[in-house]
Amino acid sequence: MAALSTLPFLHHAEMASTTLICDTQPWKDLKAHVEDIKKTHLRDLMNDKERCEQMMVEFDGMFLDYSRQCATLDTMDKLYKLAEAASLKQQINRMYSGEHINSTENRSVLHVALRAPRDTVINSDGKNVVPDVWNVLDKIKDFTEKVRSGSWVGATGKTLKDVIAIGIGGSFLGPLFVHTALQTDPEAIEFAKGRQLRFLANVDPIDVARNIAGLNPETTLVVVVSKTFTTAETMLNARTLREWISSALGPSAVAKHMVAVSTNLMLVEKFGIDPNNAFAFWDWVGGRYSVCSAVGVLPLSLQYGFSIVEKFLKGASSIDDHFRSAPFEKNIPVLLGLLSIWNVSFLGYPARAILPYSQALEKFAPHIQQVSMESNGKGVSIDGVPLPYEAGEIDFGEPGTNGQHSFYQLIHQGRVIPCDFIGIVKSQQPVYLKGEVVSNHDELMSNFFAQPDALAYGKTAEQLLKENVAQHLIPHKTFSGNRPSLSFLISSLNAYNIGQLLASYEHRVAVEGFVWGINSFDQWGVELGKSLATQVRKQLNASRTKSEPIEGFKFSTTKLLTRYLQASSDVPADLPTLLPRI
């Protein structure tokens, strides 16, 4: 982090005009309060039933227990004061009322409008955007019904039963998460019979090969998903699959086999996709917040039908209302956000593990990684002032029991990593075996209930001595405990609950950003690498086709590039078209 005094480019007056949250009294009070908390242990805090009771909230089938956070009710009061100092309520309202809170891009932030009921009024720049949202949703419903019923067919008259969605980042991770979660939902399964949905994200030709493996272009619909329609990876993949289709079925087949989702309809048309077959969204939808736009709704409706996806939107909308209206003490996203700030900024725990005890949620952590880390991975305040504190957190995760046999060792005895445990009451796919002690889902959930206590209570040397553990092993077998976690218990996992979970985490990230005083809705940090790749791309072309020497790169990069080009000199200068043969 740069010290303020080393930043000559900022005028003194500019800095003075901005109040950072760390300069407020509630922040200072929380800093001082850390000492009180360091004197406590979760073992003792958990004995206080009233405290625990008050650290449990419920809303619409979601139960949150945050009693295993290293926090007291006094901590919570102090966090609510911090929220007040950050004008959290007002900031939430500014988001919902379409103000340009994404100031560096001069945009509203209105993903809540994507799942708002038809009769809602949400304005951006003086215009109610909800009718536009529903025009696109109606268009998706109509188109996907045509494809699914076989009234829209491919160039050779065959039904399009397989879909490849091309997109990366926000144009991929959210839809993949929802698809993976729905894949084993009994209701969704019924609607997906005989259909496949795949995602092509990586520009690696291996991902192309894996995506087209076993598919027939005659029965495949390709959906190109890109907010900007300029993302290098997505556009090369789109050109590659356009070639895959036209080399098999002729160039005119593209009209029947390729559709697009974008905010840039001009570029969609230039690419060769009929604008009638394009599904719009708007610059007030951030890429990582776009799963509820056509970005997710189109591919998911092709796979599961619109009615299932509508339930997903309703689940998200239920949390949107809750987030806007519930008092902070009962507001799940607000509580989640404030506790994250407590862990990161005060207790000094920079990471968070997202641990769903559900295989269906295996792509939840990768999605939240982008939502959280691309949103809050910032070093300056929304006014451009370098932050004297760290913002953002390092998110990672795996379905619970798999994680237990992988990285939990570190979580139990190594570093302290606050954990989110997510459990489902009713399995999508119950399995019972006669004679077993418990059902398979109960077996899974036994771990969900056990792990948070293992982290919180730990195991002392005295306990080990009582168990006659050999003296030399006692340090190795001791668990310090006092490791914070929270537990989410969700009634079931269907389209509706999946929407709720998504919106809870989206708003949690916004809460954190609002309090840290950063812009959670831009992502300038991804640009530098992209522009350097452009220079490398040019060099690779010039070296391969005209044997031009490597110029203008750092010493190490020059060495690496030289080695790469020399070792792959068998790549022909005049490249013929080559598609994967798999």
Q: Which is nearer to ligand F6P, 231 or 404 (CB)?
A: 231
Residues in contact with ligand F6P, counted by CB under 6 A, come to a total of 14
∠86-91-95 over CA atoms, to 5°? Answer: 160
The residue within the footprint of ligand F6P, chosen from 98, 154, 169, 513 (CB under 6 A), is 169
Q: Cβ of residue 230: shortest distance to ligand F6P, in angstroms?
A: 7
The answer to the question of residue 317 lying near ligand F6P (CB under 6 A) is no
Judged by CB under 6 A, the residue of 75, 91, 231, 497 near ligand F6P is 231
The residues pairing with 56 across neighbouring beta strands, listed in sequence order, are 65
Closest CB 74 distance from ligand F6P, rounded Å: 39
Q: Which of 75, 144, 234, 358 binds ligand F6P (CB under 6 A)?
A: 234
Active-site residue, 405 included:
yes
Q: Which stretch binds ligand F6P (CB under 6 A): 164-172, 248-256, 489-497, 502-510?
A: 164-172
Interaxial angle between packed helices 306-325 and 294-304, expressed in degrees from 0 to 180 and rounded to the nearest 10: 140
Annotate 471-496 with DSSP letters as a single string.
Answer: GGGHHHH-B-----EEEEEEEE-SHH
Stretch that binds ligand F6P, among 40-48, 86-94, 126-134, 168-176 (CB under 6 A): 168-176
CA–CA distance, 46 with 377 (Å, rounded to integer)? 33
8 Å CB contact between 483 and 411:
yes
First to last CA, the chain: 48
Of the candidates 207, 205, 214, 162, which has an alpha carbon nearest to the alpha carbon of residue 582? 214
Does the active-site annotation cover 322?
no
Sequential DSSP letters for 278-321: EEE--TTS-GGG-TTSHHHHHHHHHHH-HHHHHHHHHHHHHHHH
Q: Among 91, 211, 226, 359, which residue interacts with ligand F6P (rule: CB under 6 A)?
A: 226
- Segment near ligand F6P (CB under 6 A); pick from 24-32, 62-70, 182-190, 220-228: 220-228
* CA quadruple 217, 221, 227, 230: dihedral, nearest 10: 20
Contact 174, 291 (CB under 8 A): yes
Counting every residue, how long is the chain? 582
- Measured from the CB atom, is 170 or 356 closer to ligand F6P? 170
CB 277 to ligand F6P: min, Å: 18
List the x/- string, 349-388, binding to ligand F6P by CB under 6 A: -------------------------x--------------
Task: Identify the active-site residue in 530, 538, 548, 559.
Answer: 530
**Are residues 553 and 567 in contact, defined by beta-carbon separation less than 8 angstroms?**
no
Nearer to ligand F6P, 285 or 308 (CB): 285
Residue from 431, 450, 461, 526 in contact with ligand F6P (CB under 6 A): 526
Q: Would residue 113 be called left, alpha or beta, if left means φ above 0 and alpha means ψ between -120 and 50 degrees?
A: alpha
Among 148, 198, 227, 378, binds ligand F6P (CB under 6 A): 227
Instruction: Centre a 10 Å sphere on the Cβ of residue 119 and count the other Cβ atoms it contains.
Output: 8
The smaller minimum CB distance to ligand F6P, of residues 224 and 354, is found at 224
Q: Does 293 bind ligand F6P (CB under 6 A)?
A: no
Out of 179, 256, 288, 508, which residue is the one contacting ligand F6P (CB under 6 A)?
A: 288
> Which range in 40-48, 227-235, 382-390, 551-559 contacts ligand F6P by CB under 6 A?
227-235
Among 24, 54, 202, 228, which residue interacts with ligand F6P (rule: CB under 6 A)?
228
The minimum distance between CB 341 and ligand F6P, in angstroms, equals: 23
Nearer to ligand F6P, 169 or 517 (CB): 169
Rule CB under 6 A: say whether 473 interacts with ligand F6P.
no
Q: Distance from CA of residue 386 to its chain's centroid?
A: 26
- Measured from the CB of residue 286, what is the shortest distance to ligand F6P in angstroms? 7
Rounded to 5 degrees, φ, ψ at 174 are -65, -50
The catalytic position among 218, 233, 310, 374 is 374
Kindly tell me the burial class for residue 101, based on how many C-beta atoms sit within 10 Å of its own C-beta (0-12, 13-18, 19 or more): buried
Q: How far is the CB of 54 from ligand F6P (least distance, A)?
A: 38
Among 67, 69, 102, 171, binds ligand F6P (CB under 6 A): 171
Tokens of 55: 């650290």
Q: Which of 12, 49, 405, 554 is catalytic?
A: 405
523 binds ligand F6P (CB under 6 A): yes
Contact predicate 226/255, CB 8 Å: no
Residue 301 interacts with ligand F6P (CB under 6 A): yes or no: no
Closest distance of CB 360 from ligand F6P, Å: 23
Q: Of 358 and 523, which has the nearer Cβ to ligand F6P?
A: 523
* Residue 175 sits in the site that holds ligand F6P (CB under 6 A): no
Nearer to ligand F6P, 234 or 303 (CB): 234
* 548 part of the active site: no
In terms of C-beta density within 10 A (0-12 exposed, 13-18 middle, 19 or more buried), how is residue 92 classed?
buried
Residue 89 sits at φ, ψ, to 5 deg, of -55, -50
Using the rule CB under 6 A, is 299 a contact of ligand F6P?
no
At its nearest, how many Å lie between ligand F6P and the CB of residue 502?
Answer: 15
Smallest distance from the beta carbon of 90 to ligand F6P, in angstroms? 27
Specify the DSSP class assigned to residue 414.
Answer: S
Query: What distance in Å separates the CA atoms of residue 378 and residue 522, rounded to the nearest whole number?
Result: 9
Long-range CB pairs of 276-280, under 8 A, 24+ apart, other chains included = 277/143, 279/136, 279/139, 279/140, 279/143, 280/132, 280/136
Buried/exposed code over 261-299 (b: 16+ C-beta within 10 A; e: otherwise): bbbbeebbeebebeeebbbbbbbbbbbbbbbbbbbbbbb
So which residues are the catalytic ones? Answer: 374, 405, 530
Note the residues at the interface with ligand F6P (CB under 6 A): 168-171, 226-228, 231, 234, 287-288, 374, 523, 526
